[in-house]
């Protein structure tokens, strides 16, 4: 009896922690199963053919928001080419609507609801003849076929109690399979909060992995020098002792190679944690902080616990130290949040100058409070994944469209970190930052610039053209700032037209690099390079009468900008 766990990821660099946890758990009890990882970018026929060639007896799909449409198509096609295959599903996109899903898809034999390790083990044992019945396996919904060929019944078993998280095996003993992929790690399950838009609020059973076990496993990842480890804990710092011990450990054992990503509640950070964070190597950790809204009425309605004044203080303190990448989130489409209210939330968060600001839109997830109360909020949302909001009692669809345009401008011009100095100056001519992105979005609309693929240089040129309409009297200032921003990110081979002619003559450049190759006055770590190599790895530019040197070997760990050195 051959089992195949199929994971369909959003990108190649992703890995599916769930299927590896299931595999390693059952293999700890002597049961062998196989894994196949795909992506939603692959052709459906390729996946179908690969599954057919593997010819499983039992096929299991891990179902998420990003892959459920893909899985639904495969369910229909797989049964045509493998009519006798048994199909099981698991994951958040089917756990909370298992009965309805199985009624809609007769190809599915069963669904694991919620936590899957123990349930999956017992399912494997059943199909391999070690258990007599599915009826004694908690946490599953399954199709029971009766004596008559056309007669069947869908049975929902009792929910399974959660397991000790320390019993879940570590899945990264063999790192070869995860080369060039993001590593996901879990040190806790569940969440103490009740945010109405989130499925984590459904499961209040918060528990933690043994700290000594966590340290031992993190050391393996540090020793393997993996580029990034993303903790999937819903609120990593909800238990201070747990968070502090892990942060201390990775700080003390850091080898300068691995970045750790955490989702945290910024208002829960205490003095001991903040002091530790301030000592960390730039790039060691990055923090994702869900603000979602600064409207007190909205925060209360979505059952969220968040003190924005504390968030503001802590985010600002971390930002001033300059060693931690901070990613702050907002959600449009929440109750009591209209266009003007969201504008204020945006301005409040933008003022904190995070490295990334995600302007997201409410996703109405099955099983969530928002899903159950959609009628009450006049919440209209897409019928297809990701079930994104289209309108609410407070926010009509036309305003959703406006916010979508602003979202794209924020992604292109702020989150890219390619226009940092230009935007900082440009903000001053608008009443607030939201209005700046709003007007930039309007400019894109008016000139038919959305839905087109623009080169990086074109984005600079578009921004300069926009500025000409807003502040024509200071174009030279903005041209210089755009040039500064351009060379901070890349030593472009072909100087763009908007930057004008070279500002440093060939003679000046030759004299500078001749001298620098001998004296090494400005560039650290270039001692083993000759003047020609140094010139290729740096750039000289005069801006407002000052001579600047861009050092691309020593980049900022948070922004990836070149080190900027004032020569004269």
Decide: 36 and 51 in contact? Cβ < 8 Å: yes
Distance CA 563, CA 553 (A): 8
Q: What is the C-alpha to C-alpha distance for residues 170 and 100, in angstroms, rounded to an integer?
A: 34
| Cis ω before 386 (30° cut-off from 0) | yes
**Residues 25-69 pLDDT 10s:** 999 999 999 999 999 999 999 999 999 999 999 999 999 999 999
pLDDT tens sequence across 327-384: 999 999 999 999 999 999 999 999 999 999 999 999 998 888 899 999 999 999 999 9
Per the CB < 8 A criterion, the answer to whether 264 and 257 are in contact is no
Using 50, 70 and 90 to split pLDDT, how confident is the model at 145?
confident
Q: How far apart are CA 492 and CA 496, in angstroms?
A: 8
At 285-303, the pLDDT tens digits run 999 999 999 999 999 999 8
User: Does pLDDT of 104 surpass 80?
Assistant: yes
pLDDT tens for 406-454 read 999 999 999 999 999 999 999 999 999 999 999 999 999 999 999 999 9
Cα 534 from Cα 485, distance rounded (Å): 21
Residues 6 or more apart in contact with residue 56 via CB below 8 angstroms: 2, 3, 4, 34, 82, 85
Residue-level pLDDT at 470: 95
Residue 412, beta-bridge partner list: none
Q: State the greatest distance between any 2 C-alpha atoms of the chain, in Å, as a whole number.
A: 92
pLDDT digits (tens, 9 = 90+) for 175-222: 888 988 899 999 999 877 767 666 655 555 789 999 999 999 999 999
pLDDT in tens, 215-232: 999 999 999 999 999 999
For residue 150, the model assigns a pLDDT of 65
What pLDDT is recorded for position 514? Answer: 95
d(CA 410, CA 397): 20
Query: Structure pTM?
Result: 0.91
Q: Report the C-alpha gap between 292 and 487 in whole angstroms.
A: 34
- Whether the per-residue pLDDT at 146 is higher than 80: the answer is no
- Which residues does residue 329 pair with via DSSP β-bridges, in sequence order? 290, 358
CA angle 547, 553, 558 (to 5 degrees): 95
The pLDDT score that the predictor gives to residue 192 is: 74
d(CA 495, CA 98): 58
Provide the 3-class DSSP secondary structure of residue 360. Answer: strand
Mean pLDDT of the chain: 94
């Amino acid at each position: 009896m051959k089992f195949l766990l199929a994971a369909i990821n959003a990108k190649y660099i992703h890995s599916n922690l769930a299927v590896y946890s299931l595999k390693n758990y059952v293999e700890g009890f002597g049961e062998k199963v196989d894994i196949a990882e795909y992506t939603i970018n692959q052709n459906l026929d390729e996946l179908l053919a690969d599954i057919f060639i593997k010819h499983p007896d039992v096929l299991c799909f891990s179902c998420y928001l990003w892959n459920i449409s893909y899985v639904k198509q495969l369910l229909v096609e797989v049964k045509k080419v493998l009519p006798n295959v048994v199909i099981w599903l698991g994951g958040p996109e089917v756990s909370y609507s298992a009965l309805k899903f199985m009624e809609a898809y007769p190809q599915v034999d069963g669904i694991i609801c919620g936590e899957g390790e123990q349930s999956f083990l017992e399912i494997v044992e059943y199909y391999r003849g070690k258990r007599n019945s599915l009826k004694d396996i908690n946490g599953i919904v399954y199709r029971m076929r009766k004596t008559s060929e056309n007669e069947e019944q869908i049975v929902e078993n009792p929910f399974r109690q959660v397991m000790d998280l320390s019993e879940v095996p570590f899945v990264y003993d063999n790192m070869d399979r995860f080369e060039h992929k993001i590593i996901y790690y879990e040190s806790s399950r569940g969440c103490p909060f009740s945010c109405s838009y989130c499925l984590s609020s459904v499961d209040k059973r918060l528990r933690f992995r043994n700290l000594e076990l966590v340290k031992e496993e993190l050391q393996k990842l540090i020793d393997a020098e993996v580029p990034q480890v993303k903790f999937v804990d819903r609120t990593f710092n909800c238990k201070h002792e747990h968070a502090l011990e892990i942060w201390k450990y990775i700080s003390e054992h850091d080898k300068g190679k691995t970045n750790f990503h955490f989702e945290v509640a910024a208002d829960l950070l205490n003095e001991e944690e903040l002091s530790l964070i301030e000592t960390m190597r730039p790039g060691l950790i990055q923090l994702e902080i869900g603000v979602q809204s600064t409207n007190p009425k909205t925060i209360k309605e979505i059952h969220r616990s968040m003190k924005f004044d504390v968030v503001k203080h802590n985010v600002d303190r971390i930002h001033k130290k300059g060693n931690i990448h901070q990613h702050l989130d907002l959600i449009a489409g929440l109750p009591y949040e209209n266009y003007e209210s969201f504008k204020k939330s945006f301005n409040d968060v933008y003022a904190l100058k995070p490295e990334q600001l995600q302007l997201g839109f409410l996703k109405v997830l099955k099983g969530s409070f928002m899903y159950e109360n959609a009628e009450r909020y006049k919440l209209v949302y897409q019928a297809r994944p990701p079930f994104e909001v289209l309108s609410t009692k407070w926010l009509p669809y036309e305003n959703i469209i406006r916010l979508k345009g602003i979202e794209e401008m924020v992604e292109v011009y702020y989150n890219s970190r390619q226009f940092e100095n230009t935007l900082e100056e440009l903000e001053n001519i608008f009443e607030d930052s939201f209005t700046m992105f709003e007007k930039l979005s309007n400019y894109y609309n008016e000139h038919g610039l959305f839905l087109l693929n623009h080169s990086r240089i074109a984005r600079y040129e578009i921004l300069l053209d926009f500025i000409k309409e807003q502040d024509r009297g200071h174009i030279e200032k903005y041209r210089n700032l755009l040039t500064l921003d351009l060379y901070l990110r890349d030593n472009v081979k072909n100087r763009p037209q908007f930057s004008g002619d070279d500002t440093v003559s060939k003679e000046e450049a030759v004299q500078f690099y001749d001298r620098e190759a001998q004296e090494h006055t400005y560039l650290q770590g270039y001692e083993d390079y000759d003047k020609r190599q140094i010139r290729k790895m740096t750039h000289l530019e005069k801006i407002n009468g000052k001579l600047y040197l861009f050092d691309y070997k020593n980049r900022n760990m948070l922004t990836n900008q070149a080190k900027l050195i004032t020569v004269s």
